[in-house]
Amino acid sequence: MTRPTYKEIEERLLKAEAILILIRKGEIDTIDNGKDISFILPRKEMESRLAELTRERTARLNQQNHEHILNEERLRNLLHLSLMKTESKQEILDFALESIVRLTESKLGYLYFFNEDKRRFSRFLWSTEMLENCMITEKHHYSIHMAGIWADSVRKREAVIHNNYPDLTDKKELPEGHFSINRHLSVPVFEDDKIVAVAGVANKSKPYENSDIRQVSLFMATMWSILRTRQYEYKLARAKELAEAANIAKTDFLSNVSHELRTPLNGIYGFLQLIIKDAEKDPPQIDKVIERGKLGLESCRHLIELINDILDFSKIEAGRLDLHMEKIALGSVLDEIESRMHHMAQQKNLKLKISNAFGIPNVMADRKILNQILFNIVGNAIKFTEKGLITISCRQTDENMAEIEVSDTGCGIAQSELHKVFNRFEQATTKMKDSGGTGLGLAISKKLVEMMGGQIKIKSELGKGSTVYFTIAIANT
């Protein structure tokens, strides 16, 4: 005789349920085989079977209800996660991690970022209970070779489940103070074809299943998509801000340049008219002709400087400026600058001083460009200094570089404006804007210094003066 299947027993018990009511009422004592059900069960056994069936049904209904509640929570949390538009990155990560811990019915969770090029993890987030229970001194950076089996999902590039963690023989021992682990699940997070993070949960009361992998993968993919979109939006907004700022700066620049170009041109035109009038007089007024000719030449010089600034900057931006690096005696370059700038300083009753000019050996630089850098910086110092001293000094740094420093006792720049001084088309102070020029001098100098492998910086105090200093490489002896 074959044993009845579970389904057959269930059908028979359902039939017996109705007959049991009659038995309890005392209406019948026995049941004829083949009439009401296909076999006769003793009353106690029938009641036991019915109670067992009821318990099983109740358990299934409770499980289904529990799964229904979890599914509702999953959908709510996914919706909430997708709508987190204004929350910070940290808040988004916190919510996603705590959600996967709850929805997989785990006790612990973690999230590590991963640099696939360097093969290194950086710890970013632990779940609340994990933070409370883990007493180890946690490293924040791991090489993948040093990481335990929690990194297996990265090594295998797929989700990994360890439902028998204590029995694994190839795992690393947990450090002292670490919480115990009985089950573990980890999932890699991808961006394109690269792994960018790993998320994991642990210590579920029953074995992890593929449905848990789907839960964690879905939340992590959604979270990463939101973060990536947020990053793109930020970059786009930042690029838009920079573009708008550049457009404003260019508009101001064109306005300033047109004004600056017009000023010397009008001067030249006016001086030429006066020269012609003085020359046509009888007798010609030679002294006035010479005087106005000199003023006209000064306007021409100013015009040439403006045009050179614009042409130089356009060459640098287009990458068409060629360097001719050679071994140069720095002292001789500083002597040339002193000769060129002495008259300009003297006109404003300023003292121009050079110290330690020959204390530095030869440097590797383009002589013409080095002269231009110094001319721009020293020229600025003279322009914005009304009284006192301009000092040019040099020294050798620990990095085997020559550092050239230009200090003045001029108007200085407020700390809040210092970041603008090397920006193209910008002049940091009202005094600078009123003094004329294109606002390209220091921007050009910065580009040229960096092209020769150096760095340029500025320190300043409003009302006391400024110091611009830059480095160039010392030539090998």
Write down the pLDDT at residue 18: 53
Write down the pLDDT at residue 40: 46
Do residues 373 and 314 both lie within one domain? no
Q: Determine contact, residues 346/375, Cβ cutoff 8 Å.
A: no
What CATH code is carried by the domain that includes residue 120? 3.30.450.40
> 120 or 435, which is more confident?
120
Residue 457 lies in a domain: yes
Nearest Cα neighbor of 336 from 297, 381, 367 is 367
Do residues 103 and 243 both lie within one domain? no
Do residues 231 and 89 both lie within one domain? yes
Please write the tens of the pLDDT for every residue from 144-159: 877 787 788 888 999 9
- Residues 6 or more apart whose CB falls under 8 angstroms from that of 200 comprise 109, 110, 111, 150, 153, 184, 185, 186, 187, 216
Write down the pLDDT at residue 456: 95
Over the chain, what is the mean pLDDT?
A: 79
Please write the tens of the pLDDT for every residue from 352-395: 998 875 667 789 999 988 988 998 899 889 989 999 999 999 88
Q: Give CB contacts under 8 A, 24+ apart, made by 355-359.
A: 355/391, 355/392, 355/393, 356/393, 356/394, 356/395, 357/330, 357/331, 357/392, 357/394, 358/330, 358/331, 359/394, 359/395, 359/396
Do residues 159 and 185 both lie within one domain? yes
Q: What is the share, in percent, of the chain residues with pLDDT greater than 70?
A: 78
CA geometry: angle 316, 319, 324, nearest 5 deg: 80
Do residues 229 and 275 both lie within one domain? no
Please write the tens of the pLDDT for every residue from 52-69: 767 777 777 777 776 767
Q: Determine contact, residues 289/279, Cβ cutoff 8 Å.
A: yes
Give the span between the Cα atoms of 367 and 99, in whole angstroms: 64
**Would you tell me how many other CB atoms lie within 10 Å of the CB of residue 42?**
9
Do residues 109 and 200 both lie within one domain? yes
The residue out of 204, 235, 266 marking a domain boundary is 235
With cut-offs at 50, 70 and 90, classify the pLDDT of residue 430.
Answer: very low
Question: Hunting for tokens 């590590």 — which residue is that?
Answer: 112
Domain span holding position 446: 326-473
Nearest Cα neighbor of 191 from 91, 88, 94, 116 is 116
Do residues 270 and 370 both lie within one domain? no
Give the span between the Cα atoms of 94 and 227, in whole angstroms: 13
The residue out of 79, 101, 129 marking a domain boundary is 79
Dihedral sign, CA of 161, 167, 173, 178? positive
Residue 1 lies in a domain: no
Region 121-132: what's the mean pLDDT? Answer: 76
Write down the pLDDT at residue 427: 57
With cut-offs at 50, 70 and 90, classify the pLDDT of residue 43.
Answer: low
Do residues 340 and 460 both lie within one domain? yes
| Structural domain count, the chain | 4
With cut-offs at 50, 70 and 90, classify the pLDDT of residue 34.
Answer: very low
Region 87-97: what's the mean pLDDT? Answer: 86
Region 72-80: what's the mean pLDDT? Answer: 77
> 391 or 420, which is more confident?
391
Assigned token pair, 77: 């949390």
Residue 207 lies in a domain: yes
Q: Which of 63-77, 429-443, 446-460 has the highest mean pLDDT?
A: 446-460
Lowest mean pLDDT among 242-251, 304-313, 424-433: 424-433
Write down the pLDDT at residue 33: 45
Do residues 361 and 452 both lie within one domain? yes
Do residues 243 and 308 both lie within one domain? yes
Nearest Cα neighbor of 415 from 360, 448, 462 is 462
What CATH code is carried by the domain that includes residue 386? 3.30.565.10
Sheet strands side by side (includes 160-162): 141-143, 120-126, 108-115, 194-202, 184-191, 160-162
Do residues 112 and 57 both lie within one domain? no
Please write the tens of the pLDDT for every residue from 260-292: 666 667 777 777 888 888 788 877 778 887 887
The residue out of 79, 96, 128 marking a domain boundary is 79
Please write the tens of the pLDDT for every residue from 219-255: 888 888 888 888 888 888 888 888 888 777 777 666 6
Do residues 163 and 175 both lie within one domain? yes
Write down the pLDDT at residue 44: 63
With cut-offs at 50, 70 and 90, classify the pLDDT of residue 185.
Answer: very high
Q: Determine contact, residues 420/428, Cβ cutoff 8 Å.
A: yes
